Homo-oligomer: A and B are copies of this chain.
Amino acid sequence: MLNKAVLPPGLSKERFAAALAEYRAIVGDQWVLVDLDQLTPYSRLMVPDDPLNHQPCGAIAPVSVAEIQRILAVSNKYKIPLWTISVGRNFGYGEAAPATPGQMVLDLRRMNRIIEVDPVLGTAVVEPGVTFKQLQDYLVEHDLPFWFNKPAPAPVVGPMGFTLERGMGYTRYQEQAQNFSGMEVVLADGSVVRTGMGGVENAKTWQAYRWGYGPWVDGLFLQSNLGIVTKLGLWLMKRPASHVTWAAGFADMKGAARAVEMLRDLRMDGVVDNGMVFHMSYGVALTQRRADIFKGPGAIPDAMWAGIAQQAGLTVWSAAGTIFGYPEQVKVNLAILKKSMEEIGGQFITEQQVSGPASIMFNNIKMITTNELSLEDFAIFNYRGAGGAWFAPVIPAKAEDALACYETMQRVLSEYGFDYIGGYMIGYSGRHFDAATILLFDRDNPEELQRASACYNKLVDTCAAAGYALYRAGTPLMKKTADIYGPAQKALNARLKSALDPNHILAPGKSGIA
């Protein structure tokens, strides 16, 4: 796929060769990759862009903090930027490719130990390469009564990237940024900091209490290039005694917007822990190929979605989630939820009552909101032809904003001939929703690829202008997104960057921090 090797910016071939020799002496020859075919996995993009903008000069895979420290010394000496990845499968946003060309990918997949699980407190200490599958296997093997917060493609990704990229989960814990405690971070100069209670000798609370004493620095290492996180404390979710997956159908976006407000109130009242509101296009895209259902030009018209829904006995919009707890808690909360959803016109149903075409959607909701691991969500990339990129502006949990954001996205997508496929995911406090939307396109069609890129950029701008900014951005969109957050944040980030990484060797361009 790649045609020609690239060098680190400003470095001669000879100097790079000298640096590679030093890197090899640290990790061994086989863990320094520079051949073009070896670098292909580190060059893929989800959001369409010119691959040359993101081609790495190589990749290096250390196995310990000590090796990372030595790699940093070499990188500081030669000024070779390091683009750190954990499992490197940030599907939907960026995969493993660096923000700018010529960076060396620092691949931490080999550091994959589950260092400790506290069976009483339900906490775990993990290294960057640990996957959710591995964590689940560990919990099963040790018969520990815990689940964990996880994203949709959980089997092949891991808690480190999920946490550091501020992913959104669907269990009781939802926003992962609220649910971790303590890090070990290697700074650009090789110094190691254990945050929070981890600084205290013999601390018994590194994973139990997250805030420590004095300024809380952990936030600095989220969506960041200010350090390399090598250990992370996770809060596991206690396995609930029981759970019931539910859904409420709504005929149109106005109903969906009412559901957003209702979920907000129910969350603030402690009735639900999680919840989402989504368009039926999501379910269709998961199970069908677009070419089989629509031949016309442009986006699938609203009327056709309504027709598909009617034929299948489904509604165009649904709210859904899973209620967890002791059976008597579930019963009471489910009754409040049912009454609330019916009051705003929702057709309420639980997993016990479902049958027919809705079962597929129910299984999917149940899978992502419980501890099942599945790659079924990946089927969505087949809808149009291998291409897809997530796009999730943040909205306040108000009907008017749910409506306005949907209409904005729908209009822009239609303009470029793409379908609206997505929904709204409730945030931790109930006060915001992620308007999670996936732009699906045919990766093998150059014209469509270019159109997708233009559309994605237009979506970012148009939503931001309406007050709905992204909380996460694919690699090609990082600079644009950081610009949207304004000059003051940019200037502060630049000062922090210069203080902690004066040679700018850690992932330049990450989150728009150059």
Residues of A within 8 A of B (CB): 118, 120-123, 166, 172, 175, 177-179, 181, 187, 191-195, 197, 199-205, 207-209, 211-224, 226, 235, 237-238, 240-241, 261, 264-265, 268-271, 273, 324-326, 328-329, 331-333, 335-336, 394-398, 401, 427, 429, 431-432, 464-473, 481-482, 484-486, 488-489, 491-493, 495-496, 498-500, 511-513
Q: In the complex the two chains form, what is the Cα distance from A335 to B118 in whole Å? A: 29
Q: In the complex the two chains form, what is the Cα distance from A273 to B269 in whole Å? A: 12
Cβ contacts under 8 Å, A491 to chain B? 191, 193
Q: List 21 A-B contacts (CB under 8 A).
A: A121-B396, A179-B429, A191-B491, A192-B488, A199-B485, A200-B464, A200-B484, A204-B401, A204-B467, A205-B467, A205-B469, A208-B431, A212-B471, A213-B484, A214-B489, A215-B224, A217-B496, A220-B220, A238-B269, A240-B269, A498-B499
In the complex, what residue of chain B is closest to A268 when comparing beta carbons?
Answer: B238
Cβ contacts under 8 Å, A207 to chain B? 431
A489 adjacent to B199 (CB under 8 Å): yes
Q: In the complex the two chains form, what is the Cα distance from A226 to B216 in whole Å? A: 11
Known: A473-B213, A500-B495. A394 touches B205 (CB 8 A): yes
Known: A192-B488, A216-B222. 7 other contacts (CB 8 A): A122-B268, A193-B491, A214-B513, A215-B223, A237-B268, A270-B325, A495-B499
B493 adjacent to A496 (CB under 8 Å): no
Q: In the complex the two chains form, what is the Cα distance from A328 to B203 in whole Å? A: 41
Smallest CB separation, A329 vs chain B (Å): 6
Smallest CB separation, A128 vs chain B (Å): 18
B218 adjacent to A223 (CB under 8 Å): no
| A-B CB proximity, top 4 nearest | A216-B219, A499-B499, A214-B511, A199-B485
Smallest CB separation, A336 vs chain B (Å): 6
Q: In the complex the two chains form, what is the Cα distance from A219 to B221 in whole Å? A: 11
B199 adjacent to A486 (CB under 8 Å): yes
A218 adjacent to B215 (CB under 8 Å): no
A215 adjacent to B209 (CB under 8 Å): no
Smallest CB separation, A57 vs chain B (Å): 25
B432 adjacent to A465 (CB under 8 Å): no
Q: In the complex the two chains form, what is the Cα distance from A209 to B470 in whole Å? A: 11
Q: In the complex the two chains form, what is the Cα distance from A180 to B469 in whole Å? A: 19
Q: In the complex the two chains form, what is the Cα distance from A309 to B62 in whole Å? A: 62
B214 adjacent to A224 (CB under 8 Å): yes
Cβ contacts under 8 Å, A401 to chain B? 204
Cβ contacts under 8 Å, A488 to chain B? 191-194, 199
Q: In the complex the two chains form, what is the Cα distance from A429 to B191 in whole Å? A: 30
B223 adjacent to A214 (CB under 8 Å): yes
Smallest CB separation, A497 vs chain B (Å): 9
B213 adjacent to A172 (CB under 8 Å): no
In the complex, what residue of chain B is closest to A336 when comparing beta carbons?
Answer: B326
Question: Of B223, B241, B329, which is within 8 A of A213 by CB?
Answer: B223
Cβ contacts under 8 Å, A194 to chain B? 486, 488-489
Cβ contacts under 8 Å, A481 to chain B? 213
Q: In the complex the two chains form, what is the Cα distance from A197 to B434 in whole Å? A: 13
A220 adjacent to B209 (CB under 8 Å): no
Q: In the complex the two chains form, what is the Cα distance from A431 to B235 in whole Å? A: 9
Cβ contacts under 8 Å, A204 to chain B? 395-396, 401, 467-468
Q: In the complex the two chains form, what is the Cα distance from A27 to B166 in whole Å? A: 43
Cβ contacts under 8 Å, A121 to chain B? 264, 396-398, 431
B202 adjacent to A467 (CB under 8 Å): yes
Cβ contacts under 8 Å, A335 to chain B? 328
B395 adjacent to A469 (CB under 8 Å): no
In the complex, what residue of chain B is closest to A399 when comparing beta carbons?
Answer: B120
Known: A271-B329, A332-B332. A493 touches B208 (CB 8 A): no
Known: A191-B491, A193-B492, A200-B467. A208 touches B396 (CB 8 A): yes
Known: A219-B215, A329-B333, A335-B328. A396 touches B205 (CB 8 A): yes
